[in-house]
Amino acid sequence: MQKVAVIGAGTMGNGIAHVFAQHGFAVHLVDVSQQALDKALDTIIRNLNRQLSKESITEADKQQTISNLHTFTSLAAGVQNVDLVVEAATENVELKLKIFRELDEHTGPDVILASNTSSISITKIAAVTQKPGKVIGMHFMNPVPVMKLVEIINGYATEKSVTEHITELSKKLGKVPSVANDYPGFIANRILMPMINEAIYTLYEGVGGVEEIDTVMKLGMAHPMGPLQLADFIGLDVCLSILNVLYDGFGNQKYAPCPLLVNMVTAGYLGAKSGEGFYKYTAGSKDLVVSERFL
């Protein structure tokens, strides 16, 4: 495997492209927006400079990584002659199905098609292609260059050889693979999202404040980040979307999103990316400031 296409130049896409390029792969980064591609390259270079300052890479490593990156605004052109495609578009079912239909049309029968989805069924995605055995989940964690885990998800039809190949590939990227089967939320979000939702309910019902809830989980349970801060970091809209997948998939009330979460997303308070969620975020500041709405 020499060439990899990454579909989507957002936070996850540029991180995935960074990691593959740093490990010697020719990477085709594909997005419909040239502006998004330019921003992604700027982000990758900034992150490489951070690695350089920490002496985890050399200047030669940095330049080689940059030279391995190639951008495309055409999906058909971007996936030509690649061995693997990793889709990292927005967590939207219809969008992902549309992309996989196009990938199926423009790639050969042996090309592995992976999705970075955190919750959408791999079996459902694979079903819109003519090669469901070659479709697999490859769920990286954010920030991709730093986080070690790759959650590998088998669809119902995923070939064993594909799972083995992606497992070994993840190790070559310096990651630790963990294989899951295709049920709502997989492993990571089936466990994480109910915890975040319960933390939001704890705030909603007045059991504790934002800072108190996060402090208990950080100091009492040795979590590096409290669940409310983590929700802000993930994006409250993403949390809501995943909880809806869990609720729809299992039909169990315990996965029903907290009304507070629904209201915050509806009002546009999405966490760090919108500037305010449970905490307020100011450009250039690393201070953790609780939103005035919860004081």
Cross-strand pairs, 86: 6, 114
139 catalytically annotated: yes
Show the tokens assigned to 289: 């400031």
CA distance 265 to 257: 11
Query: Is residue 173 packed enough to be buried (19+ CB in 10 Å), middle (13-18) or exposed (0-12)?
Result: middle
Q: Are 116 and 138 in contact (CB under 8 A)?
A: yes
The amino acid occupying position 249 is G
**Which is catalytic among the residues 118, 121, 154, 241?**
118
CA distance 49 to 289: 28
* Helical axes 34-53 vs 11-22, angle rounded to 10°: 50
CA distance 287 to 295: 16
**Which is catalytic among the residues 14, 119, 189, 197?**
189
Query: Is residue 286 packed enough to be buried (19+ CB in 10 Å), middle (13-18) or exposed (0-12)?
Result: exposed
CA distance 44 to 59: 14
**Which is catalytic among the residues 18, 28, 106, 139?**
139
Report residue 10: phi and psi, to 5°.
-75, -160
**Which is catalytic among the residues 18, 87, 115, 151?**
151
151 catalytically annotated: yes
Q: Which residues are catalytic?
A: 118, 139, 151, 189
